[in-house]
Every structure is written in C-alpha cells, then in structure tokens.
Amino acid sequence: MGDIAFFPEQASTLAGQVDLLYFFLIAVSVFFALLIFSLIYLFAVRYRRRSEDDVPKEISGLLKLEILWSVIPLILVLFVFGWGATLYFDAYNPPKDAMEIYVVGKQWMWYIQHPTGQREINKLHIPVNKPVKLTMATEDVIHSFYVPAFRVKKDVVPGMYTTMWFNAIKTGEYHLFCAEYCGTKHSQMIGTVVVMEQADYQKWLSGNDSNEPLSVTGEKKFQQLACHTCHKDKANGRGPSLVGIFGKQAQLQNGQIITVDEDYIRKSILNPGDDVIAGYKPVMPTFQGQISEVGLLQITAYIKSLANSGSK
C-alpha cells in the first residue's frame, strides 16, 4: 500500500473513539451488504430461468420473516444511535478546565486569538494533552472549523458564538480546513494546527510576548468606546456593573433568568434592547457596525477577567 492512507491520523482523545464506532459500522455494513449480495447472487443463479414456460409458485410473504428483518436492524441501529450520541455529547461539551482560545473566521482566513495576547493567522499552536476550548465567531458568512485528525468540526455562524473542544494526544502538524462553503477561495481557507510538547509550547508563548493579554486590549477598547461611563465598578451607573458578573445568573426585566456568558455579552453589545437586566432601563445604544468580532472578543475577555477579580 506504500504511502496510501485509508484513515486519518488519530491525534485527539476523541479520534480513537470515533474510529472504533466507525469500524463497528463498517463491520455491520459489510455483514449486511455481503448477506444481501450473496443472497441475490445465489437466487439469481440457482433460480435462473431455464425455460420460457417456467411458472414459479407464488410466495406472498411471511410475517415472521418481515418481523425478523425489521426488528434486528432496529435493535442494531438503536444501539448505534446510543453509542454515537454519547460520543457526540462528549465531543461538544468541553471540560471545565479547558484552556480557552478564540477563533474568528473571515473570508478567507482563520484568525486565532490566544487569551495571553498571541495572535495567529491560519495557524493554531496548542500544547499536547491539554483540553482546548475554542470560542468561535465569524465576520461574514458561515464557516466551519474542521480538524480531521481530531475528528471534530463545528460551524462558525454569524450572529452567535459557537464552541468546540479537543484534547490533542500526539505532537505534530495537522490540517485545518474550512468545511462549510464560504465563497470563492473556500478551498484556500485552510491552515495548520501545531500540537507541541508543553515545554515547546511555553517557549512558543514566550517567543510571542510582544502582545499584551487579550483582557488588557479589551479594557482599552472598553474605555475607548466609553462603556465605563455607564458600566461602573459599583452598581451606581446607568448600566449594571460588570464586575464579578461573568458566569453568574441574572434576572431580566421579563423575569427570565439567564446566565451571563460570551453569547449574552455579545448580544448585549450588538442588540442591547433585547435582554435588559431587571432594574435597568433599555437606554444603551447598539454598537453594531462600530465593533468587529475581534473587538467583541477582546471586550468579552476583559469582562471575563473581572469575574474573578471581585474588585478592580
């Protein structure tokens, strides 16, 4: 076979599990395909027409057989459903301790923003054996972040954040593809995921320390857009204080309880009138068109950094 590969590399904790399910499906499929093909072949040869006057006896059907070949596949597929669903929930629910990285898709490039300030285009450096959670946004159309070696993929959708995570288990360089058609240079919206040993990763981080942490950039932007004139440190501003709010629950004017997460902050900046916190007036203007997806991520990182500080 030489260099010809039949399966992609298994470079994440998920890859082996997905492949195992895939092999099971192949085994089941080969069994049923061979069963059907050999029956067709057998019947077609054994009962080939020998004379034009053949009159085969009528066989209308057999209820037992119908039940058999409905129930056995049914049980099998329900088993596969359960297996696939379990893995799916694992694949899309990041562990709490995952390291966070932000991704912005844009026709036709991937912009990667590390919380520590490093930025990359079409490259993602990550440490091996550490869960990594991506929070993703797009500046324009739908893209899809796909790393075949990790067996994960998630669409990046305008108007919201999507998330995905993986835990790389093998150092090396892997393909990053955009999997959702996004226009002329869709096939060039590709990149590389570089999985590094912890030590190398630390070296890489420190070699890129010219950038300030994301939350610091976010704070500057926060001042620049004059957010701080209403969102003060104490609850005495026209808007709610953002200190310690991230990850907490809050009550809206209509009584609904929501969790203050990335999506809520993003929405509140772009469509501030939609979900106003109880006790405040819907006076905030929209910042739609004044702030890019990257800017939104910076401010979000800043607000997140306020979550733990207690006071600033």
Within 272-291, the residues that bind another protein by CB under 8 A are 288
Q: Which residues contact 160 (CB under 8 A, 6 or more apart)?
A: 137, 263, 266
Shortest Å distance, C-beta 95 to another protein = 16
Instruction: 272-280: list long-range contacts, CB under 8 Å, 24+ apart.
Output: 276/252, 277/240, 277/250, 277/251, 277/252, 277/253, 278/250, 278/251, 278/252, 278/253, 279/240, 280/238, 280/239, 280/240, 280/253
By C-alpha distance, which of 218, 215, 178 is closest to 100?
A: 215
- Total number of residues that touch another protein (CB under 8 A): 90
Residues 65 to 94: which contact another protein by CB under 8 A? 65-66, 69-70, 73-74, 77-78, 80-81, 83-93
Q: Are 151 and 170 in contact (CB under 8 A)?
A: no
Residues 184 to 203: which contact another protein by CB under 8 A? 184-188
Selected range binding another protein among 54-62, 117-125, 197-205, 246-254, rule: CB under 8 A:
54-62
Buried b (16+ CB within 10 A) or exposed e, 107-127: bbbbbbbbbbbbebeeebbbb
Selected range binding another protein among 19-27, 193-201, 218-226, 232-240, rule: CB under 8 A:
19-27
Nearer to another protein, 144 or 268 (CB): 144
Residue in the structure block whose two tokens are 């919380």: 115
Nearer to another protein, 155 or 200 (CB): 155
Nearer to another protein, 118 or 138 (CB): 138
Residue 159 sits in the site that holds another protein (CB under 8 A): yes
Nearer to another protein, 120 or 155 (CB): 155
Identity of the residue numbered 22: Y
Nearer to another protein, 55 or 226 (CB): 55
Q: Are 129 and 123 in contact (CB under 8 A)?
A: no
Question: What are the C-alpha distances in Å from 193 to residues 16, 124, 170, 171, 214?
Answer: 18, 5, 11, 10, 21
Report d(CA 177, CA 282) in Å as an integer. Answer: 41
Selected range binding another protein among 5-13, 202-210, 235-243, 250-258, rule: CB under 8 A:
5-13
Residues 201 to 260: which contact another protein by CB under 8 A? none
Shortest Å distance, C-beta 282 to another protein = 16
Please identify which residue in 103, 112, 124, 178 interacts with another protein, judged by CB under 8 A.
178
SS3 111: strand
Shortest Å distance, C-beta 309 to another protein = 31
The binding track of 114-153 with respect to another protein, each residue x by CB under 8 A or -, is --------------------------xxx-x-x-xx-xxx
Please identify which residue in 27, 36, 121, 235 interacts with another protein, judged by CB under 8 A.
36
Nearer to another protein, 5 or 199 (CB): 5
Report DSSP state, residue 311.
-
Q: Are 132 and 14 in contact (CB under 8 A)?
A: no
